[in-house]
């Protein structure tokens, strides 16, 4: 399995992850089934991740509904045709709107193949995404996980993951991104499954969903 495309892929990945690190067996038992939460690779998937950042789920979905064209699919081409002040009507921040415009322009011009990132090595794919102003490591990693289907990505800058790992292993404080990245090396080449596991585990602990995309 080179990319994650189904619930069965996640299930198989979890089996291999638990064999790799038996410490995770009890965590998996508490977490329950791991949701796939996969979107098709492309502009719409990346745009949805960006829209959802730093706002409540309800707010993100309201903004998203206002952005969707009549045909119900947001492409780079139709985003590029929005008038310059459309972001105000959508409820987007200026920064997010500018980031989306840069991504749309890169896709339309042929300079960025978002679907093609699924088949590229992680480091190369991350470099392409983060070369775009406004696209940080977390955004790029989450896109590769939940749209690109990459199997070995762990967004160590994610606060929910930091808290989840601290709770699962009884750490006195949550690990910072560098420390968490080092801890996550033990779960390679299944770090995308490990991230899903810890998000699911913490969602059970808090009683609410914490995966970064719906």
What are the tokens at 94?
């200026």
Q: Strand, coil or helix: what is 150?
A: strand
Task: Supply the Cα-derived Rg of the chain in whole angstroms.
Answer: 18
User: What are the angstrom distances between the C-alpha of 15 and each of 185, 194, 205?
Assistant: 17, 11, 22
What structural domains does the chain harbor?
7-36+152-206 (1.10.1670.40), 43-146 (1.10.340.30)
Q: What is the pLDDT tens value at each position of the chain, 214 positions in all?
A: 478 999 999 999 999 999 999 999 999 999 999 989 999 999 999 999 999 998 888 999 999 999 998 878 899 999 999 999 999 999 999 999 999 999 999 999 999 999 999 999 999 999 999 999 999 999 999 999 999 999 999 999 999 999 999 999 999 999 999 999 999 999 999 999 999 999 999 999 876 555 665 4
pTM here is 0.93
């Amino acid at each position: 399995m080179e990319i994650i495309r189904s619930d069965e892929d996640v299930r198989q990945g979890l089996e291999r992850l638990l064999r790799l690190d038996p410490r995770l067996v009890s965590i998996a038992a508490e977490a329950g089934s791991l949701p796939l939460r996969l979107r098709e690779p492309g502009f719409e998937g990346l745009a949805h991740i960006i829209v959802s950042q730093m706002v409540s789920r309800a707010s993100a979905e309201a903004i998203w509904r206002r952005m969707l064209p009549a045909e119900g699919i947001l492409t780079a081409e139709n985003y590029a045709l929005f008038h310059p002040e459309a972001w105000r009507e959508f409820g987007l921040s200026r920064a997010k709107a500018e980031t989306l415009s840069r991504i749309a322009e890169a896709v339309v011009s042929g300079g960025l193949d978002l679907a093609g990132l699924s088949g590229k090595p992680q480091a190369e794919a991350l470099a392409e995404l983060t070369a775009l102003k406004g696209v940080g490591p977390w955004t790029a990693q989450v896109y590769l996980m939940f749209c690109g289907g990459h199997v070995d990505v762990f967004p160590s800058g994610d606060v929910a993951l930091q808290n989840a790992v601290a709770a699962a292993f009884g750490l006195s404080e949550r690990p910072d991104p560098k420390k968490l990245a080092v801890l996550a090396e033990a779960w390679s080449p299944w770090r995308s499954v490990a991230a899903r596991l810890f998000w699911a585990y913490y969602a059970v602990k808090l009683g609410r969903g914490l995966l970064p995309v719906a």
